[in-house]
Amino acid sequence: QVQLVESGGGLVQAGGSLRLSCAASGRTFSSYPMGWFRQVPGKEREFVAAINWNGVSTRYADFAEGRFTITRDNGRNTVFLQMNSLNPEETAVYYCAAGRDRWSVSSVPRMYDYWGQGTQVTVSS
C-alpha cells in the first residue's frame, strides 16, 4: 500500500511546459505500475499515460503521444509526467495512481488501487 502526493501543477501559457511529480510513501513503490489521469468538472476521469513497474513499458493516450513523457525513479519513489506544447484543452486536475499488476499499463481507472489528491493544471489562452 502506498500514499501518493502530486505536485508541479500551476498556471502556464499555451505552448508551455510543465513537469508533474508524484511522490509515493512506503517501501514497495517499485512493485506498482503507475498512471496519470486527468479530470475536469462534470467530466469523467481521462487516461493520460501509464508506466509499468520497471519503466520498460509505457502507454499514452492519443492526445499525449509525442508531447507527454512518463518516467519513474524507483530509487526516489517518484513518477513524473513531462508535458510539452500544452494547450487550453489540457486544463484539468491531474491525478497520479498506482496499480496492482506490475506489468500493467492499463488506461482504465478501475485497474488502479491508489490515487493521489490531484494537482491543478491551468493552460491559458
Model confidence band, residue 27 (pLDDT cutoffs 50, 70, 90): low
All cell numbers assigned to 115:
490515487
What is the per-residue pLDDT for 107? Answer: 96
Q: What is the Cα–Cα distance from 102 to 76, expressed in whole angstroms?
A: 18
Specify the amino acid at residue 8. G
Mean pLDDT is lowest, of 17-31, 84-98, 102-116, for 17-31
The strand pair at 119-124 and 10-13 is best described as: parallel
- Res 69 pLDDT > 70: yes
What is the per-residue pLDDT for 57? Answer: 95
Distance of CA 85 to the CA centre of its chain: 17
- Res 98 pLDDT > 80: yes
The strand pair at 10-13 and 18-24 is best described as: unpaired
- Res 122 pLDDT > 70: yes
**Number of C-alpha atoms within 13 angstroms, CB side, residue 44?**
6
Q: Are 38 and 45 in contact (CB under 8 A)?
A: yes
